[in-house]
Structure 1
Amino acid sequence: MSKVALIVGAGPGLGASLARTFAQVGYDVAVASRHAAGLEPLCSETGTRHFVCDVSDAQSVEDLFRQIDAELGAPNLVVYNAGAYTRGPIADLDLNAVRSTLSVNGWGALVVAQEAARRMIPRGSGTMLFTGASAGIKGFAQSAPFAMGKFALRGLCQSLSRELAPQNIHVVHVVIDGVILRPERGNPYDDPETTLHPDQIARTYLELSRQHKSAWTYEIELRPHVETF
C-alpha cells in the first residue's frame, strides 16, 4: 500500500517541486491550496490530487483531511508550506492584513498539525515538515507581521517535536534563509547563483522524511552559498 503525502500550500515554486519529488518516489500525493487555478498541469504531470482548503478556517482544514482519508487514506507525511507576507512601517500597517498573515503562518499550521496528529498518534508513526523562514529566527525592520507569524511557527514546531517524538512522529522546522528561484518573477528571483533552487529544497525535505529515528533532525537552515548570516 502506497504512502500518502499531503502538501498544504501548493503553487508553482516549492510546492510544485515537493509534489514532484514525493510522487517520484512512490507517494500518493495530495496538494492543497486556496485556489485550483494553475495547478492542473502539475496534477496531470505527477498524478497528484488537488484539494481546495483555506488554512485560516479550521472547518476547511478538517474537511480537507476527511476528504483525503476517504480518497487516499490518512497521510503518512504532511508538509505545511502555506505562507503569507505583509510588511511596512509599524505606524502604517493594515491590521486586517496583519491578522490574515498571522492566521496563515501560525494558526493555520497549528490546525493542520492537530488534524495530522489525530491520525498519526493512533498509528504510531508519521512525519510533519514545516516551511519556516529566517524571519522566524530574527525580526527584520518593517517586517513585524511576518516575523510574528514565523516565530509562532517555530515555537509550534519546538513544542510538537518534544511532545510527538516519543510517539514516533518526526517534526521538522525548515528555515528557508534566502530567495527561492522563480525566473518568471524577475529580479531578484531569477538568478540561480543567489537563490535557492526549489528542487534542491524538496530533495532535503525528502531526506528528512527518510531519517532513522536514532538520528532525527528537528530544525535545519537552508541558504544559498552567497547568503550572509
Structure 2
Amino acid sequence: MSVKTAVIIGVGPDRGLGARMCYRFARAGLHVVVAGRTQAKVDIVAANIRDFGGDASAVRADVTKETEVAALIEQAEQTGPIELAIFNAGNNMPGAFLTMEPDYFETCWRIACYGGFLFTREVLRRMVPRGVGTLLMTGASASMRGKPNFAAFTAAKAGVRALGQSLAREFGPLGIHVAQVIIDGAIDGDRINIGRPQVAAALGPDGLIELEGIVDAYEFLYRQQPRAWSHELDVRTFKESF
C-alpha cells in the first residue's frame, strides 16, 4: 500500500499554524513533509510528530527559489503520492507606502504570490495526471480588503487569492480540489504572543483566532466529497468586525 503524503510549506514555530497543521494531518495517518525556511524549526516539528508515533520528514526550502521548491515536491513524491498540499507561506509585512523601498514590496510579493505560483505549479504537475488531490492555500484579511500601511501585503495576498480562484476553476474539473482558508484576524500563536505581545494584550484572548479552530477548517476542506466542494472558507473570532 502506498503512503499517503501531505506536504506543508510555511512551517515555523511549534505554536504556529503550519506546525499545528502538520500535527493534525500526521495524526490523520498521512506522512507529513514539513517544509520551511529554517531547518531547526522544521526539524523540531518533524521530531515531535515521530515522538507521538506519526510519520514525518523535514525539508528546508525557500518558496521563492524555483529549484528548492521543485526539489521539495520531488522528495515528497518519493515518499508517496501527494494527496494533500498546503501553501502556508507569506509573512505579514506592513509599511508606509510613500517611503517603501521597491525591494521591500517585491520581497513581500515573492514570498506570497510568486512562491504560491512555484509551489502550486509543482504540486499540480503531480496531481493532475492522477486526477486526485487537495491543494489548500492560506489567506488573510488582506486577501479581501486593503488597509492603510498594508499595500505590499495586500497586493501579495490578494494575488494569492486570485491565483487560487483560477486554479480551482481550471483544475477542479480534472479532479483536484483547490481551496483557500481566509484567516480574518490575528492568530493566537507564538508570532503575535511573543513577537508582538502588546498587540496580543490589546486584543485579549477572545480577540485572537484559536489555532486548532483554524486547523479544523483545513481538515474540513480536505475531507470534503467531490460533489460538495467548497472553494473558500473564512475564519475569525466572534468579536471581529467584517
Report TM bin, short chain: over 0.9
For 2:198 and 2:42, the matched residues in 1 are separated by: 24
| 8 Å CA contact retained: 1:129, 1:174 | yes
Deviations 1:125-174 (A, max 9, x none): 00010000110111111110000001100110110000011011000011
After superposition, the C-alpha distances for 1:174-206 in whole angstroms (9 at most, x for unaligned) are 110000002434233364311111121112101
Cα gap change, 1:40/1:61 in structure 2, threshold over 3 Å: closer, same or farther?
Answer: closer
For normalisation by structure 2, the TM-score amounts to: 0.90
Cα distance in 2, alignment partners of residues 23 and 175 from structure 1? 23
Partner of 2:64: 56
**Who is 2:4 aligned against?**
3
Residue equivalent to 2:220: 207
**Which AA in structure 1 matches 2:18?**
G
Indicate the structure with greater helix content.
2
Matched, 1:156 2:166: no
Aligned amino acid, residue 208 of structure 2: T
Query: d(CA) in 2 for partners of 1:4 and 1:62?
Result: 16
Q: Which runs of 5+ in 2 are unaligned?
A: 51-55
SS at match of 2:124: helix
Report how many residues are paired: 228
Which residue in 2 is equivalent to 1:188? Answer: 199
Distance apart, 1:29 and its partner CA = 0.3
Partner of 1:226: 239
Q: Secondary structure at the match of 1:11?
A: coil
Contact 2:177 2:229 in 1 (8 A): yes
Query: Counterpart of 2:40?
Result: 37
Instruction: Encode CA deviations 1:18-75: one digit per residue, 9 max, x unaligned.
Output: 00100011010011111112333321121321101111111111111122222x1231
| Partner of residue 184, structure 2 | 177
Q: Residues 12 and 38 of structure 2 are in contact (CA less than 8 Å); yes or no, is this contact kept in structure 1?
A: no
Partner of 1:217: 230
From 112, 124, 137, give the equivalent of 1:105: 112
Q: Separation in 1 of the partners of 2:93 and 2:175?
A: 36
Q: TM-score w.r.t. structure 1 length?
A: 0.95
Conservation of the 8 A alpha-carbon contact between 1:8 and 1:79 = yes
Quick one: distance in 2 between partners of 1:27 and 1:199? 18
- The root-mean-square deviation of aligned C-alpha atoms, in Å, is 1.3
How does 1:21-170 map onto structure 2 within 5 Å? 21-47=24-50, 48-70=56-78, 72-170=79-177
Structure 1 gap segments, 5+ residues each: none
Percent identical residues: 34
